[in-house]
């Protein structure tokens, strides 16, 4: 890359054993692992372009719909997506059945894109770290996908979800616990599973900052400027932003959270580590049901909560 050496020199060098080891492992995963057949997809393929990224994202939406539809019908109901991003999940769900859709996100830029794309069929609101601007008892179903791990005040937001749900309403929660294989949310640049279990987040972010500038690591598509195609300023240098981005919610902490709330627990399901990228991981899925070990071998938690009927 034209700015590789200059950019690397602009921030602190990798000096500790942990930093050097993490960098070497990441480089191995990025450049050589696919040759051994352990990893089917070329590292980073999901992140190479907005088309492949969106395609994989949409494929996961179908899985979410199948999971959620086991417990509820959306037809003619008022449905809220907490952490809706650009609204693509609600839009896809509306292709299956008609319902009143509301998307809530805390990022005004994403909400602007959402309104531009789906404003004719979906209403959007901006939530704060502690509240959602909707009336009491106004929503039949709330769902949230890949959002709980990013909430800075999860207890307050869950309490507000309880407030806006109608009696008998359901809250469907899908999230990735902290100690699972992808808990660090850095798989777009550090593709080895469980890096945050072995290395501190400070080490990972320092290594990620170096990888971002390296000649053998193409940045994920969402770090490229849409107009110029050039990489944006290094996103891994802002440690405080990453601290706000992840709350390090474990399965144990999540169970404690829902026990402290007035919801009734309808369903709690661990979804094991696996998938197309690491086919051998299917042999590890059994650990998702083993206490203590489940923290490490659960890819996601799916939970259904209900507001009791008065």
Q: What is the pTM of this model?
A: 0.86
- Whether the CA torsion 129, 306, 273, 58 is positive or negative: it is negative
Residue by residue, DSSP assigns 194-226 as SHHHHS-HHHHHHHHHHHHHSTT-PPPGGGB-T
> Nearest 5°: CA angle at 172, between 53 and 221?
10
DSSP line for 224-286: B-TTT-PBPS-TTS-HHHHHHH-----HHHHHHHHHTSSPEEEEEEEEES--SS-GGGGGGGG
Measured CA to CA, the distance from residue 122 to residue 100 in angstroms comes to 7
pLDDT digits (tens, 9 = 90+) for 171-209: 999 999 999 988 999 988 888 889 999 999 999 999 999
E strand or H helix at 303: strand 298-306
Determine how β-strand 165-175 pairs with β-strand 298-306. Answer: antiparallel
State the Cα–Cα distance between residues 94 and 74, nearest whole angstrom. Answer: 9
| From 9-18, 42-51, 229-238, 263-272, the region with the lowest mean pLDDT | 42-51
**Cα–Cα distance for residue pair 296/307, rounded to 1 Å:** 30
The predicted pLDDT at position 6 comes to 41
69-179+248-306, what's its fold?
A: Rossmann fold (3.40.50)
Q: Judge whether 307 and 169 are in contact, CB under 8 Å.
A: yes
93-138 tens-digit pLDDT: 999 999 999 999 999 999 999 999 999 999 999 999 999 999 999 9
Alpha-helical segments (H) within 71-200: 88-94, 108-118, 154-164, 195-198
Distance of CA 137 to the CA centre of its chain: 28
Distance of CA 104 to the CA centre of its chain: 16
Give, in order, the Cα–Cα distances in Å from 263 to each of 45, 172, 233.
40, 12, 43
Q: Which of 156-160, 216-220, 254-258 has the lowest mean pLDDT?
A: 216-220
Give the three-class secondary structure for 119: coil
pLDDT digits (tens, 9 = 90+) for 135-148: 999 999 999 999 99
Using CA atoms in the order 134, 139, 141, 147, what is the torsion angle rounded to 10 degrees? 0
Burial of 26 (0-12, 13-18, 19+ CB in 10 A): buried
Beta pairing, strands 298-306 & 264-272: antiparallel
Q: For residue 70, is pLDDT > 50? A: yes
Q: Give the domain ranges of the chain.
A: 4-42+185-245, 69-179+248-306
């Amino acid at each position: 890359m034209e700015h590789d050496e200059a950019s690397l020199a602009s921030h602190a060098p990798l000096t500790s054993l942990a930093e050097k080891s993490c960098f070497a492992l990441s480089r191995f995963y990025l450049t050589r692992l696919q040759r051994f057949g352990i990893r089917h997809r070329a590292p980073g393929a999901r992140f190479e372009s907005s088309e492949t990224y969106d395609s994989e994202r949409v494929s996961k939406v179908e899985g979410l719909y199948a999971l959620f539809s086991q417990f509820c019908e959306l037809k003619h109901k008022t449905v809220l997506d907490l952490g809706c991003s650009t609204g693509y999940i609600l839009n896809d769900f509306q292709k299956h059945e008609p319902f009143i859709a509301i998307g809530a996100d805390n990022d005004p830029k994403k909400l602007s894109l959402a309104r531009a794309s789906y404003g004719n069929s979906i209403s959007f609101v901006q939530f704060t770290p502690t509240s959602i601007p909707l009336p009491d008892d106004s929503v039949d179903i709330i769902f949230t996908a890949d959002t709980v791990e990013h909430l800075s005040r999860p207890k307050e937001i869950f309490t507000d979800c309880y407030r806006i749900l109608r009696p008998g309403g359901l809250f469907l929660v899908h999230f990735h616990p902290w100690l699972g294989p992808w808990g660090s949310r850095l798989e777009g640049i550090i593709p080895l599973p469980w890096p945050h279990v072995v290395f501190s987040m400070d080490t990972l972010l320092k290594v990620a900052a170096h990888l971002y500038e390296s000649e053998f690591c193409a940045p994920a598509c969402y770090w490229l400027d849409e107009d110029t195609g050039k990489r944006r300023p290094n996103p891994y240098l802002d440690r405080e932003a990453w601290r706000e981005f992840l709350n390090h919610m474990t399965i144990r902490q999540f169970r404690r959270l829902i026990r402290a709330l007035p919801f009734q627990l309808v369903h709690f399901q661990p979804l094991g580590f696996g998938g197309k990228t690491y086919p051998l991981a299917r042999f590890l899925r059994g650990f998702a049901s083993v206490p203590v070990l489940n923290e490490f071998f659960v890819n996601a938690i799916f939970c259904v909560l209900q507001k009791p009927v008065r």
